[in-house]
Amino acid sequence: MSAAPPSWPDLPASHRRVLLELLIHGEESRVRLAERIDMSRASLTRIVRELVELGFVIEGQSRPSVTRGRPQEMLHLRADAARFVGIKLTGDALYAVLLDLEASVIDRREEALASRDPDSVVDLIRQVTDELLGDHAVPAVIGIGLAGDVLRQGEVEVVERSNFLGWDPPVPLRSLVERATCIRTVVTNDVHALAGAHHWFGSGDEDESIVVYGLGAGIGSGVVIDGDLMEGVHGRSGRVGHARIGGAGRVCDNGHTDCVHSFITMPAIEHNAGVAPGEYALAVSRAHQGDPVALDSFRRAAFALGAVIAESVNAFDPGAVSVMGEGLDMLDLAPEEVPRALAEYLEQLSPDDVRIERPRFDFGLYARGAAVSAMRTVLSS
What does the pLDDT average to over 118-144?
94
Q: At 251, is the pLDDT very low, low, confident or very high (cuts 50, 70, 90)?
A: confident
> Is 52 within the bounds of a domain?
yes
* Claim to verify: residue 46 and residue 90 sit in the same structural domain: no
Q: At 2, is the pLDDT very low, low, confident or very high (cuts 50, 70, 90)?
A: low
* Claim to verify: residue 280 and residue 176 sit in the same structural domain: no
Using CA atoms, how far apart are residues 328 and 336, in angstroms rounded to an integer? 14
> Is 104 within the bounds of a domain?
yes
* Claim to verify: residue 121 and residue 227 sit in the same structural domain: no
What does the pLDDT average to over 230-253?
79
* Claim to verify: residue 311 and residue 288 sit in the same structural domain: yes
Note down the domain range covering 21. 13-66+73-80
Using CA atoms, how far apart are residues 155 and 175, in angstroms rounded to an integer? 10
> Is 7 within the bounds of a domain?
no
* Claim to verify: residue 284 and residue 217 sit in the same structural domain: yes
* Claim to verify: residue 221 and residue 166 sit in the same structural domain: no
pLDDT of residue 167 exceeding 80, the answer is: yes
* Claim to verify: residue 262 and residue 142 sit in the same structural domain: no
* Claim to verify: residue 233 and residue 313 sit in the same structural domain: yes
What CATH number did the domain enclosing 289 receive? 3.30.420.40
What CATH number did the domain enclosing 23 receive? 1.10.10.10
CB count in 10 Å sphere of residue 42: 9
- Residue 187 β-bridge partners: 144
* Spatial contact of 240 and 221, defined as CB atoms under 8 Å apart: yes
Strands 57-63 and 210-215: unpaired
Q: Which residue from 181, 184, 206 is spatially nearest to 196, judged by alpha carbons?
A: 206
Helix axes 173-181 and 118-133, enclosed angle (nearest 10): 50
HSE (CB half, 13 Å, CA atoms) of 49? 6
pLDDT of residue 69 exceeding 60, the answer is: no
> Is 200 within the bounds of a domain?
no
What does the pLDDT average to over 349-378?
93
Mark which of 35, 50, 80 sits at the end of a domain. 80
Q: What percent of the chain has pLDDT over 90?
A: 70
CB count in 10 Å sphere of residue 252: 19
pLDDT in tens, 273-303: 999 999 999 999 999 999 999 999 999 999 9
Q: What percent of the chain has pLDDT over 70?
A: 94
* Claim to verify: residue 331 and residue 375 sit in the same structural domain: no
Using CA atoms, how far apart are residues 324 and 335, in angstroms rounded to an integer? 16
What does the pLDDT average to over 62-69?
54
Using CA atoms, how far apart are residues 278 and 271, in angstroms rounded to an integer? 10
For the entire predicted model, the pTM comes to 0.90
pLDDT of residue 97 exceeding 60, the answer is: yes
> Is 180 within the bounds of a domain?
yes
Find the Cα–Cα–Cα–Cα dihedral 129, 135, 139, 142, rounded to 10°. Answer: 0
> Is 202 within the bounds of a domain?
no
Using CA atoms, how far apart are residues 69 and 273, in angstroms rounded to an integer? 68
> Is 23 within the bounds of a domain?
yes
Mark which of 80, 103, 132 sits at the end of a domain. 80
Classify residue 19 as left (phi > 0), alpha (psi -120 to 50) or beta: alpha
Give the chain's domain count.
3
Q: Which residue from 296, 298, 146 is spatially nearest to 214, judged by alpha carbons?
A: 146
Q: At 43, is the pLDDT very low, low, confident or very high (cuts 50, 70, 90)?
A: very high
How far is CA 213 from each of CA 151, 222, 260, rounded to the nearest angstrom? Answer: 20, 7, 13
For the chain, what is the HEC assignment?
CCCCCCCCCCCCHHHHHHHHHHHHHCCEEHHHHHHHCCCCHHHHHHHHHHHHHHCCEEEEEEECCCCCCCCEEEEEECHHHCEEEEEEECCCEEEEEEECCCCCEEEEEEEECCCCCHHHHHHHHHHHHHHHHCCCCCCEEEEEEECCEEEEECCEEEEEEECCCCECCCECHHHHHHHHHCCCEEEEEHHHHHHHHHHHHCCCCCCCCEEEEEECCCEEEEEEECCEEECCCCCCCCCCCCCECCCCCCCCCCCCCCECHHHHCHHHHHHHHCCCCCCHHHHHHHHHCCCHHHHHHHHHHHHHHHHHHHHHHHHHCCCEEEEEECCCCHHHHCCCHHHHHHHHHCCCCCHHHCCEECCCCCHHHHHHHHHHHHHHHHHHC
> Is 6 within the bounds of a domain?
no
**Looking at per-residue confidence, does 143 or 227 come out higher?**
143
* Claim to verify: residue 373 and residue 248 sit in the same structural domain: no
* Claim to verify: residue 108 and residue 172 sit in the same structural domain: yes
* Claim to verify: residue 132 and residue 245 sit in the same structural domain: no
Mark which of 40, 57, 80 sits at the end of a domain. 80
275 class by beta-carbon count within 10 Å (0-12 exposed, 13-18 middle, 19+ buried): buried
